Amino acid sequence: MATELTTNQAVESLDYVDLDNMPSMEELLSGETKSEFVEGSIIEGTVVEKRNDGALVDIGYKAEGFVPASEFRKWQDAKVGDKIDVFLEEIENENSMPELSLQKAYSIRAWEKVTKENEEGGIVKGLMKHRVKGGIIVDIDGVEAFLPGSQIDIGPVRNMDDYIGQEYDVKILKINDERRNIVVSRRELLEESLRDKRASLLKEMAIGQVRKGLVKNITDFGAFIDLGGVDGLLHITDMSWGRISHPSELLEIGQEVEVMILDIDYDKERVSLGYKQKSENPWEKVDSKYPISTSVKGRVVNIMPYGAFVELEDGVEGLIHVSEMSWTKRITKAGEVVSVGEEVQAVVLDIDKDNKKISLGLRQKERNPWEVLAEKYPVGTKINGKVRNMTSYGAFVEIENDIDGMIHVSDMSWTRKINNPSEILKPGESVEAVILDINPEQQRISLGLKQTEIDPWANIEELYKVGDVVKGKVSKITAFGAFIELSNKIDGLIHISQISKDHVERVKDVLNVGDEVEARVIKVDTDERRIGLSIKAAQEEFSEEELKVAEQEYSAALKPGDEMVAMGEVFNESLAGLDIDKK
């Protein structure tokens, strides 16, 4: 049941009603009072009061709205009576006042203006306001746009704070009306400008032209030079006529250099640069500057197993091969003689200008010791030296200053064929030999051991005649006979058929090494240098006819040309005979 108001209560309630501003009954019934105020719209208002912290704004509603001073762009210039557009967020807030925003009105108007006057791809001016994650917020006529970090500049940006407060032209990349955001780029404008500048600059360039530039980047293979908008590559091979192991030895980032244009690729916008080409190629005059046989000085810059590279001047190097480092020593590694950085003197041996090669000699600074020896020891001179080394074909004897001469096995004995020098020589033994030949060019000295004595075969017929009875000692036993050492270092051979009148099965059954024997000379062969002996012919007087028969038996047993006095064959056939016996 409704409670009725008394007259006094009705009167008291009127004290709380503003009768002047009270809408009429018609207005209340029609709802026209609030219909012209739409939340979320922009409406015009008038500043009716300016306070310290803001202003009261009349929008024609029953109550004024409040706008903070911080939302005014120029608060100090604001005054009562100013007409301003505000954004109506709420018709009535908790204080029964309209909730107004001047800033939002600015933003909406600015957004409408910017999007109306510009489109994606357009260019606008923007003020760099503050940093955010991944980029910078840019103010474009009151609209905040996002500038990604990758779009700030062409190169990497080390400190984005350096850009804050600066105003730049930016290109609109994307406009999103729903989210009301704009993405812009400064880099694209810079690249477009750079492309135009690069194209213009390339037209100005010409091969052979010298231009200034700044070292922009250094790599292992070269350096990139900024020529004022176009980057050129200065390859390491075009930096210096001399040796460079890394571009940083010559250049540093930020350095200004003068370079020569070597090549231009207009399609790919690539420029090849040269630095060494500004100076004359030192190889052009190398043959006149370093004539063959002249002495030069240089610094060892590189060592390889086969030789050392010596820098004579920037861009000119010569090679000292290991074979040209010593006259007497066998050098296997160049590092055994020289070291990197060492100053050396050498002699120019050869110049290959086309292939940029100079052959140098280190040993040529001294006279060829082989030539000195040739003068000092003429052919026929006797020398004394120690056996330093032996091979199967000869022995090397030191003459002087580490120079060896070789005694070939064929020059070791007049009377015996030596197959191995160890049969009569041993390392460290002092021997006397004769100079047979000296070849300075081939660095060879031939020595003779047998030449220190008279060849006994020169007068063999005076020493031994067929029919003579001689004495000697058994020196070797073979399957086919025994060698008897006679006087004058001459060996004679007693064939097995000449040991006894009786049949002899094995030589060692009758004779032993060291036995003294008496035998008769039955053959002297000066061509083959053989002396045939017979024990059975010495046991009694033999007639000339019997000697001829014995000589025939001896000759028939031996094949012409057989080297029966060769010691190597003596050993081999002795062993062969022993093997047969064992079987």
Q: Which DSSP symbol is given to 510?
A: T
The tokens for 48 are: 């009716």
**3-class secondary-structure state, position 200:** helix
> Quick one: pLDDT at residue 557?
67
> Quick one: pLDDT at residue 307?
93
The tokens for 428 are: 């460290």
> Quick one: pLDDT at residue 203?
85
pLDDT 10s digits, 490-532 = 888 999 888 888 888 898 888 999 899 888 888 888 877 888 8
DSSP secondary structure of 43-110: EEEEEEEE-SSEEEEE-SSSS-EEEEGGGSTTGGG--TT-EEEEEEEESS-TTSS-EEEHHHHHHHHH
Phi, psi (deg, nearest 5) at residue 411:
-110, 25
Domains parsed from the chain with CATH numbers: 34-106 (2.40.50.140), 118-190 (2.40.50.140), 205-278 (2.40.50.140), 282-358 (2.40.50.140), 369-452 (2.40.50.140), 460-582 (2.40.50.140)
First CA to last CA distance, the chain: 155
pLDDT 10s digits, 110-142 = 787 887 777 788 888 889 989 999 899 988 877
- Using CA of residue 528, residue 529, residue 534, residue 537, what is the dihedral sign? positive
Q: Which residues of the chain have pLDDT under 70?
A: 1-35, 540-543, 557-583
* Cα-based angle 285, 289, 292 (whole degrees, multiple of 5): 115
Q: How far apart are CA 449 and CA 383, in angstroms?
A: 10
Does pTM top 0.85 for this prediction?
no
Q: How far apart are CA 83 and CA 43, in angstroms?
A: 10
CB atoms within 10 A of CB 86: 24
* Of 531, 556, 393, the residue nearest 468 (C-alpha): 531
Within 13 Å of residue 518, how many CA atoms lie on the same side as its CB?
6
**Those residues with Cβ within 8 angstroms of residue 513's Cβ, 6 or more apart along the chain or in another chain:** 474, 475, 476, 477
**For the chain, how many residues are written?**
583
Q: Are 102 and 71 in contact (CB under 8 A)?
A: yes
Q: How far apart are CA 521 and CA 531, in angstroms?
A: 7
- Using CA of residue 541, residue 547, residue 553, residue 558, what is the dihedral sign? positive
Work out the percent of the chain whose per-residue pLDDT is above 70.
88
